[in-house]
Amino acid sequence: MTDAMELPVRAPEVEAAAERLAPVLRRTPLQHSERLSELAGAPVWLKREDLQSVRSYKLRGAHLFLDSLSQAAREAGVVAASAGNHAQGVAQACRTLGIQGRIYVPGTTPRQKRERITAIGGDLVELVLIGDTFDDAAEAAADDADRTGATQVPPFDHPVIMAGQGTVALEAAEQLRSEHGRELGTMVVPVGGGGLLGGCGAWLRERSPATRIIGVEPAGAVSMSAAVRAGRPVTLHEMDRFVDGAAVRRVGAAPLRMVQAIAPELVAVDEGAVCTQMLDLYQVEGIIAEPAGALAATAVAAGTIEHLGRAGADAPDPEEETGDIVVVVSGGNNDVSRYNEIVERSLVHEGLKHYFLVTFPQEPGALRRFLDRVLGPNDDIVLFDYIKRNNREEGPALVGLEIGDREDLEPLMARMAASNMEIERVDPENPIYRYLT
């Protein structure tokens, strides 16, 4: 454990941040979730940062950072590179504090995101489109800062940013106690670059040391666990970008130092499970969460966290309850155009959607036989595409099937094997599968 004096953020700084931020923040609700409580076997509360202004907790760190600048630095303005929630947080802070900002985004950034940033920032924020990738935008922002003397606003790797984000933990613990008379047993937070986890952990370890802290990463971008293992930030060369916001190639040095000191438990959840959770949050609780916003809830729902809400195997009474669970719903900026992909990835993850290459024998009635003899009463064809469009006589067809229950797969496969058709399941490892899902 690092000497507490060396920590980038201490509890009093988070407390000072909460006071400073109070006039500009919404005190977002702490909402009980019956569904997740049932799954966890202990009371679960959702900290609704999707209802924060700019629809994510990111305003907290960004506003505190800008508010901490000297008069001279305010006059020189700020720059940031981000197409996501950080950009919206910085834009809002610029507007509130009257500081000029330039936000660099790759030219590929969807119009909806660009429009949100300019609408929030108003006259104070200039949006600069540059290059094709996030790295191009980050480089241009750094050049701008060197050239003009503007201050760069880091998304997570800074003690002030972390102190701002840490106010989520303080606020949730206070709400749980004052509004519900309950104690914070476990706090579950999403992890990208580590700013939120670092800040929340800093406050919790000092002020609520018994609270179990759990950081949740997307399985396709486990940069924090990799950094903890290596003892330094490492760059992930391959990454699934689906959980944008939390899909970060390299965590920050300051958040990593906090994580090494507070030693939270780190777990990873599959991107498909995140999709299922986004749909459950939407359909049961009526919450629009973006993928990163649903990460923490996913770990609770999917049973990823061992003995959640219980003392655990090493305790004198393993079944002893350890208090309430707070899950941070960190953001709600989900683009409607992503819902097709979300439904698809969820169905595949649930084992309800499968793909096959089917070569029909060249004889009349083959397709009808497939329908009658191979498909079961609850199996639906949701995709049918001849691979060789110019030769329907011979080439196989790609067939997507949605089944009523994941248990239906085995009998379906048995009927396929018994048919005289050549049917090959498209393995999830097959590159074509990635293309489909």
Residues forming the active site: 58, 330
**Residue nearer to ligand PLP on the CB measure, 339 or 433:** 339
Could you say whether residue 157 binds ligand PLP (CB under 6 A)? no
* Residue 9 binds ligand PLP, judged by CB under 6 A: no
Closest CB to ligand PLP among residues 191, 297 = 191
- Using the rule CB under 6 A, give the single segment among 116-124, 186-194, 205-213, 348-356 that binds ligand PLP: 186-194
3-class SS string, 252-287? CHHHHHHHHHHCCEEEEECHHHHHHHHHHHHHHHCC
Distance (Å, whole) CA 150 – CA 153: 9
φ and ψ at 308, to 5 degrees? -65, 130
How many residues sit close enough to ligand PLP to count as binding (CB under 6 A)?
22
- 169, two tokens: 């933990």
Q: Which of 187, 246, 268, 273 binds ligand PLP (CB under 6 A)?
A: 246
How many angstroms separate the CA atoms of 252 and 245, rounded? Answer: 14
Minimum CB separation of residue 183 from ligand PLP in Å reads: 25
Which residues pair with residue 217 across a beta bridge? 268
User: Between residues 86 and 310, which has the closer beta carbon with respect to ligand PLP?
Assistant: 86
Around Cβ 424, how many Cβ atoms within 10 Å? 13
Judged by CB under 6 A, which of 43, 192, 220, 309 binds ligand PLP? 192
Say whether residue 299 binds ligand PLP (CB under 6 A).
no
How many angstroms separate the CA atoms of 287 and 294, rounded? 10
By beta-carbon proximity to ligand PLP, the closer residue of 190 and 400 is: 190
Pairing of strands 44-48, 30-32: antiparallel
Tokens representing residue 207 in the block? 């002020």
DSSP assignment letter at 321: B
Which of 227-235, 287-295, 337-345, 397-405 is the region at the interface with ligand PLP (rule: CB under 6 A)?
A: 287-295
Q: Which of 186, 330, 334, 346 binds ligand PLP (CB under 6 A)?
A: 330
Q: List the one residue from 13, 67, 290, 324 that touches ligand PLP (CB under 6 A).
A: 290
Name the phi and psi angles at 132, rounded to 5: -115, -20
- Rule CB under 6 A: choose which of 48, 58, 63, 113 binds ligand PLP: 58
**85 binding ligand PLP? (CB under 6 A):** yes
Residue 46 CB, nearest approach to ligand PLP (Å) = 14
CB 103 within 8 A of CB 80: yes
Question: Based on CB atoms, which residue is closest to ligand PLP, 56 or 322?
Answer: 56
Find the binder of ligand PLP among 47, 48, 60, 86 (CB under 6 A).
86
Interface residue with ligand PLP, options 46, 172, 191, 308 (CB under 6 A): 191
Q: Is 228 helix (H, G, I), strand (E, B) or coil?
A: helix
Q: Shortest gap between Cβ of 73 and ligand PLP (angstroms)? A: 23
Site membership for ligand PLP, residue 156 (CB under 6 A)? yes
Least distance to ligand PLP, CB of residue 377, Å = 42
Q: Is 266 in the site for ligand PLP (CB under 6 A)?
A: no
Tokens describing residue 236: 């992930």
**Helix, strand and coil in the chain, % to nearest 5:** 45, 20, 35
What is the distance between the alpha carbons of residues 328 and 307, in angstroms, rounded to a whole number? 19
Query: Exposed (0-12), middle (13-18) or buried (19+): which is 270, by Cβ within 10 Å?
Result: middle
Instruction: Provide the binding-site residues for ligand PLP, judged by CB under 6 A.
Output: 56, 58, 84-86, 156, 165, 190-197, 245-246, 290, 292-293, 330-331
